[in-house]
Chain A
Amino acid sequence: MSAPVMLGMPALPPTSPRGVGNLRGDEKFPVAARHALADTQLRRNLGKATGTIRAKRAQVVSEVPDWEELREAGRQLKVHTMARLPEYLAQFEGAVTARGGVVHWARDAAEANAIVLDLVQAKSVDEVVKVKSMATQEIGLNEALEAGGIAALETDLAELIVQLGHDRPSHILVPAIHRNRAEIREIFLAEMEDVDAGLTDEPAALAGAARQHLRRKFLSAKVGISGANFGVAETGTLSVVESEGNGRMCLTLPETLITIMGIEKLVPRWQDLEVFLQLLPRSSTGERMNPYTSMWTGVTPGDGPQEFHLILLDNGRTAVLADAGGRDALNCIRCSACLNVCPVYERTGGHAYGSVYPGPIGAILSPQLTGIEDNASLPYASSLCGACYDVCPVKIDIPSILVHLRARHTEAHAAAHRVPSAEATAMAAAAWVMGNPTRWTLALRGGRLGRALGRKRGVIGEVPLPVVKEWTDARDFARPPKQTFRDWWATERGRT
């Protein structure tokens, strides 16, 4: 946060700190995308997987006669919750505590990691089991635990693959989408203890190997760590929605359960889950209902974990809430429907975005969590086609937020720099020309100079000039016409 705060103006809430977590990439999107686009296996895997999920989602959504009403209800519930977030958080804390849970508040990733590490070390264990959690990916929990001498074992199959492969997730829902089964087999053979040397790459065999590996871990783990899909303010209930059953294992077997939840995951009342449990499975995996939905409230003596810790995570969320034009990004229920329909994501994959939140939602959430300057290329990583908005189960207007963030970026840049960027200068020049019809008419006539090019084929081919070449490297360009429309009108139609 580098902009000076003027006297009397409230400072913006802090964004997610640098140096911790996985919200920032090493390369700008256009550069990262260029490499990803050349990866033919990634292209094939992504095209196939997203195409399949798209079709499944469309099918199960078409079965629901009140889908649009559900979407609107989901949207309204989320908007309502965000408008009263402090009040609902207070209610939630009270309800969790009343049922025997312990609530911790973590301003940012570093604080959250420190709290978890302290809790785990207090249990004198060197290993914990984890349910897939985007929030823990976001804060880099596994790395922090490892630095503290604790091994955090992922139990979601795709996260396990990513972890054993010393890799990063590339999709919110299916994090190992960039891998094929031959690669997965290799990873298991190299990294999984006690794996059968004759392991094939048949999906059933791979799943079987993972199951055996994980079952041992589930039965011996003393501490489980999870995220949460939803938290119910009214009752203090948390919910995890999953497909594989590893969540159910990790949430019920260990003695101690630690849950990290972003503060935006709240819903007001128990009955509100009815809306979201219909929206989420159909939007994410394209199923009418997911196999395992777990809900737990505090501690139940003699049943399940006897110690429950809930860590409420901010890490930039209040900063997002503070921006009226961008706060709807917090309404996200992490279904990943937007990733699966995005033509950009489909071709570049998640790693190109640099953040654990990629795709359309990532392009609006990651820059707001980190501060736009740390993810400045993400709001532009979109053709604004709008496919994401059409499928978002809570109707987040992603294209409008992208446009809003582009404006925030250029305005912040202008405020922080005395010399305008080349782009800002060019845009100002264009606006000046377009601001007056006489200037515009003259400028258009000047464009006829372009007719010097393209005589041979009747179209302009490659032009080795900066900016222009970004177009002409791949596409021809039409020759400027002999006469602009307005000149034609003025002369042929005898009027100006």
Chain B
Amino acid sequence: MEESAPQSTNKSSASKFLIPIAVIIIVIGIIMFATTNRKDEAVVSNKTEETYTTTEDTTQSPSDSDDTPPSTSAGTFKDGTYSSDGKYVSPGGEEKIGVTVTLADGIITDAQVETKATRPNTVRYQGMFAENFKPLVVGKKITDVELSRVSGSSLTSGGFNDALEKIKSQAKS
């Protein structure tokens, strides 16, 4: 949508940067919730209609089974799908955004953002954010991690790599 005045543009881009900050705060909140609720009942499997909110609006979708204590694994966090609504103040006023995080063995295996904004600009920015919001794999230096072996394919096929180098140099000459 078109911006009419420079002032409005500044406001909007400020609003844009509030979203990731809000989401990071919510995710931290969810993780704290997952830690403190380790001893809570119900191992989580499916999402259901029912959601109940805590002070931080964090909910854990209950399982279809009964209230048996969780078989807590070695991880710090209890496995499950957690949802939370976060509030932040955009230049136009207060806005909401929903975050759902799936934890398995202490790893965030999925994360989703739901737009809950009402103002058109915020809807647009939250939509852009939601589309791109996913946990991503990152690297750590091999020297910083204790390892016996590495599984991958960099050592595969010396002959193949030689041939590729040859073609590259042929292409250059």
B is a partner of A: no
